Structure 1
Amino acid sequence: MDAPVRRIVHVDMDAFFASVEQRDNPELRGKPVAVGGASKRGVVAAASYEARRFGVRSAMPSVTAARRCPELIFVRPRFEVYRAVSQQIREIFARYTALIEPLSLDEAYLDLTDRLAPGMTASATAAEIRAAILAETGLTASAGISYCKFLAKIASDQRKPNGQFVIPPERGVDFIAALPIDKFHGIGPATAARMRALGIETGADLRAMGQVFLEARFGKSGRWYWNISQGIDNRAVSPDRVRKSIGAETTYFDDLHDLAAGQEALVPLAEKVWRHAERLDAHGRTVTLKVKFANFQQITRAHSLNRPVSSGEELCGIAQALLAGVMPDQRGVRLLGVTLSGFGGRETLPGQLDLFE
């Protein structure tokens, strides 16, 4: 017998960090708000919709954001509050299904297949979930509903903020055919540029190229692109996602120029990573160092052991040794990051995946 059509919902909170700050401080409501540091080395972690109208976006340097929106109000992030609200939202999800796959603090996939209340549709259930979030947290959420994860995530962007959109199975292929390549989740700017150079502008162009052509140009990803172009995405909603990495990074107010200063700056980053790893009982073998120079060029260096890293001190020592092969550098270093990865099979870790604070 044919498997039932899946009913996947992607719930995405609207400007989550900024919305929490506006909720908790009435003086910020209706005003352009950026969560992040206001210093010359600061980066916008999140922007309210009022700020987005000026072109302010997450990951934008704070100086650029302030230039685009002179009235922009910077607020220091409160991650402990965001985590608490995220857990509150997660508990709402759990009333409707146990199949919840968090992607970050502010978004998750829900599988409602065979879990709908009598007489309820996936769309009506998504609306009920959004109403519960608003009533209990004072925050709005948007939702996308479809038969697969790819389209559900695409759909959640269609009616933002505070809306929802449905892409039923019979419309899936046509919707993808008209979708611009740079709107495909999983296709970044560099890959999109390569595709446009090959004459691929939309999902229809992607499908017309054929699987053999796409695999020849893009390797294993080519098969994924081919399947998606036909509306095929069989990935299950997985409540326990295998964590790929735990990391922390910091942008510095003043550039770092000498090795000793850089190695000292790695100590709190390594401590933060190790603290998270211990809390989650995660045992990684690979340490990766991320370095962004003052001219914004970025490099990574990695070292893998044949066993898990044994302590925070060892983690820090490996990162410092990797940095010794990079510094000093006349360009100066504006950002350092440390990541632990290469987890064993027993590290199946639920919950928030993004620890880059």
Structure 2
Amino acid sequence: MDKVVMHVDMDAFFAAVEMADNKSLRGKPVIIGGNSERGVVATCSYEARAYGVRSAMPTYMAKAKCPSGIFLPVRYERYREISNKIFNIFYEITSYVEPLSIDEAYLDITHVDRSPLDIASFIKNRVKEETGLTISVGISYNKFLAKLASDWNKPNGLKIIKPEEIPKILFPLTIGKVYGLGNKSVKRLNNIGIFTIEELYKLPQDLLTEFFGKFGVAIYERIRGIDNREVQISRERKSIGRETTLASDTDDKNKLKLYIEAFAKSISNTMESKSIRGKNITIKIKTVSFINHTKSKTLSHYIFSQEDIYKEACSILEELELEEKIRLIGVSVSSFKEDRVEQLSFF
């Protein structure tokens, strides 16, 4: 049996939840990420996108592009609540669900005894009925093409890419549509006159390997419809972290430690709820020049408490030489193990 993979993507998810909760926001340029001039856009409605607003754009720039925009803070717990409802619908169809983020997943529906279109309609209708939101669905025989299909006619899209359509259906698309090609890679290819997938298709595999190393083989295969990645039903969480843009730039480590203290408490609560410990601590900073720096420390033992996370993160901070003021700081914990014994002894 040929594989059937579905990629589902919730449309402008954070903004859509806000509009579902507050109907007066519908049809308006809603921008999620807070109203602070130093903030960053998390996501925005399609009405805001029409003004050129995009995710990860500084708030001051979003305000300049969209003066009529409605700026709202992130309500992550609410978004997680709605996300859980939607993922429960996915699990009614199949247990082969690979979450990619809070608003995106792959489903392997190869062995589901219903047609792909019937499954897509069922999911879209249930999501609409239970949450008031729309979702875009892409269906194909591998992950790369399914993800490409879900983005084909957003929002509320539905697209199937069949084997006989490859590679010609891909040729008009820009190379930025190829999963794995980031902005830097796209610019490198643009510099040698490659802008569309059709132009990329004509390049020999050896040249792509020279450009991108082993990853060049994956690029060469994907635009020919080859992607052997399986839908992973268990995805190990790699890290738990928190970060924030500071209210004002600073190089005062004592002030930065106040943020670390709050992060340590939040991270510790999350780790305790999941019964896990970690032994790798990372500090992330962004300077006023928008340059990111990270520094990590691997411990000889596992930790989860607020006090330990705070202590180790502060020790890393003390080792950093702050040559210019900081506008963002973050802390994350990784290298986890489960902590079942301690959890049982608690009860």
Q: Write out aligned runs for 1:266-305 (5 A).
A: 266-305=260-299
Match of 2:335 in 1: 342
Query: 1:325-336 to 2 correspondence within 5 Å?
Result: 325-329=319-323, 331-336=324-329
Q: Which whole-Å CA distance do the structure 2 matches of 1:316 and 1:206 have between them? A: 49
Query: Equivalent residue for 1:353?
Result: none
Distance in 1 of aligned mates of 2:232 and 2:217: 22
Distance (Å, rounded) in 1 between the aligned partners of 2:302 and 2:209: 35
- Whether contact under 8 Å (2:283, 2:296) holds in the other structure is yes
| In structure 2, C-alpha distance between the alignment counterparts of 1:192 and 1:283, rounded to whole Å | 39
Cα distance change on mapping 1:114 and 1:318 into 2, 3 Å: same
TM-score, with structure 1 as normaliser: 0.89
| 1:179 paired to 2:176 | no
CA distance in 1, matches of 2:55, 2:168: 31
Among candidates 245, 255, 266, match of residue 251 of structure 1: 245
RMSD of aligned alpha carbons = 2.0
SS of 2:220's equivalent? helix
Alignment partners' CA distance in 1, 2:314 and 2:171: 48
| Structure 1 residue 235 displacement after superposition | 1.2
Q: Residues 228-253 of structure 1: CA distance to partner in whole angstroms, max 9, x if unpaired?
A: 13211111111211222222111111
Tell me the TM-score normalised to structure 2 length: 0.91
Q: Which amino acid aligns with 1:60?
A: M
- AA of the residue aligned to 2:110: T
Identify the residue that residue 100 of structure 1 maps to in structure 2: 97
Question: What is the alpha-carbon distance in structure 2 between the residues aligned to residue 310 and residue 135 of structure 1?
Answer: 40
- Tell me the residue number matched to 2:88: 91
1:136-151 residue pairs with structure 2 within 5 A?
A: 136-151=130-145
CA contact (8 A) 1:35 1:46 kept: yes
| CA distance in 2 between partners of 1:285 and 1:180 (Å) | 42
Report percent identity of matched pairs.
42
Shift in Å at residue 213 of structure 1?
A: 3.0
Where do 4+ consecutive residues of structure 1 move more than 4 Å? Answer: none
The farther-off stretch of 262-271 and 67-76 is: 262-271
Aligned to 2:8: 11
For residues 73 and 253 of structure 2, what CA distance do their matches in structure 1 show?
29
Give, in angstroms, the shift of residue 73 of structure 1.
Answer: 0.9
Unaligned stretches of 5+ in structure 2?
340-347
- Partners of 1:257 and 1:51 lie apart in 2 by 35
Q: 2:195 aligns with which of 195, 201, 210?
A: 201
Residue 116 of structure 1 pairs with residue 113 of structure 2? yes
1:133 maps to a residue whose letter is V
d(CA) in 1 for partners of 2:200, 2:150: 22
Distance 1:220 1:308 in 2: 35
Post-superposition offset of 1:279: 2.2
Structure 1 residues 318 and 146, CA gap change in structure 2 (3 angstroms): same
Q: Which of the numbers 167, 173, 183 marks the counterpart of 1:189? A: 183
2:148 is matched with 154
Gaps of 5+ in 1: 348-357
The partner residue of 1:68 within 49, 62, 65 is 65
2:259 pairs, out of 256, 259, 265, with 265
Q: Which residue of 1 aligns with 2:23?
A: 26
DSSP 3-state at the match of 2:259? helix
Larger mean CA deviation between 18-27 and 268-277 belongs to: 268-277
Distance 1:212 1:83, change over 3 A: same
Contact 2:178-2:223 within 8 A present in 1 as well: no
Q: Give, in angstroms, the shift of residue 46 of structure 1.
A: 1.6
